[in-house]
Amino acid sequence: MTALLSPRDILDQLVSFPTVSRDTNLPLIDWVEGYLTSHGISCGRQYSADGTKAGLYAHVGPDVTGGVVLSGHTDVVPVDGQPWTSDPFTVVEKDGKLYGRGTCDMKGFDALAIWALVEAQRLGVSRPLQIALSYDEEVGCEEVVPLIEQMTQHLPKASVVIVGEPSMMKTVTAHKGGRAFRVHVKGFEVHSSLIHTGVNAIMFGAKLIEWANQNNATAAAATPSDTAALFVPPWTSTHVGVIKGGTAGNITAKDCVFELDFRNVPDESNDEWEARLRAKVAEVEAEMQSIVPETSIELTQTFDLNGLAPEENGAAEALVRRLTGDNSENVVSYGTEAGHFQNASYSTVVCGPGDIAQAHQPDEFLSVAQLTAGQAFMRKLIDEVLS
């Protein structure tokens, strides 16, 4: 019989694969699929367009609807330039902490989910248990969408999704969404002494940046909706974090490029905020073209994430609260793949081991106590789907 691995054994294996988002995750996926299939669990894959990465899904139990999905991502952020005191891709236990890249975000949960699936297969379950392991979460969360589509095509539709981002095993019922754009303002160069005959891309781009400032000021002064009031800040924020452009101090800038993003509360849609941006872009572009017709503003979407909205009488929330005994109210302002599952009509919550404060840090760690708590949660979940 194939050996049964503990969550810690599985975590050691997962961390040993340096699945930084810029690189392939296929060796990790090969290992996971090999381990699951050795226990009689068939798996499916969803490949990236270039074939260098894959998501994995699997199902245990009867071929009926109404199961539970355990969802995690396999990629991690880089370690370049970070002052690690141990090998980032080897789990090192010290003072009750498990150090290694991804132990917290979120290979700890992945290990627990893999362990739970094998346990469910070994014991036999009356309610299905499924797993979804994605890639490229750290660079946009969008690759989980085709993974979800393949799951709905090839597996019985589950009713509940638990996304295991680090929440200290607390139930997170909502998070913000977001959409980001690369804004390229294409102006017209002239000597700055003749500024009225040129189009300074930086100065016209500044009109859009000031629009972002005005959005934030207006939103901050408004009375938030009940959903928005759950968050800090309790409104949709508009942000510009990177900008470049211009040639010289005495030339009107031909180009200005900056990144603009929205972090929207879940009762305000990404499409709504994009429409507002495009309306302002059209206004500024018309002003530019009244001076030099061939000038323009180009928008390229770089990020898109659905928010996770609180569910009324949500099945996922009820299940997780029953298993954890946690009745606290928790929302987060960062994004996860949970919003995409909810958008695909799954009842969804976030709950996983570890503290998000450790994510992406040098000497990232997951406490042994949190891994133990996660295993206890999975044991209760298995008991739930056994009955």
Q: State the catalytic residues.
A: 75, 137
**Residues 258 and 212: beta-carbon distance below 8 Å:** no
User: Which residue do the tokens 């507002």 mark?
Assistant: 276
Q: Which helix (H) or strand (E) holds 235?
A: none
Token pair for 351: 């709950």
**Residues 42 and 34: beta-carbon distance below 8 Å:** no
What is the rounded CA–CA span in Å between residue 299 and residue 351? Answer: 35
Ordered DSSP codes for 338-357: HHHHHHTT-EEEE--SS-GG
Token pair for 173: 């019922």
With both helix axes pointing from N to C terminus, report the angle between 270-289 and 201-221 in degrees, rounded to the nearest 10: 140
The vertex-332 CA angle with 330 and 336, nearest 5°, equals 120
What is the rounded CA–CA span in Å between residue 71 and residue 109? Answer: 9
What is the rounded CA–CA span in Å between residue 196 and residue 309? Answer: 48
168: left (phi over 0), alpha (psi -120 to 50) or beta: left
With both helix axes pointing from N to C terminus, report the angle between 315-324 and 368-386 in degrees, rounded to the nearest 10: 120
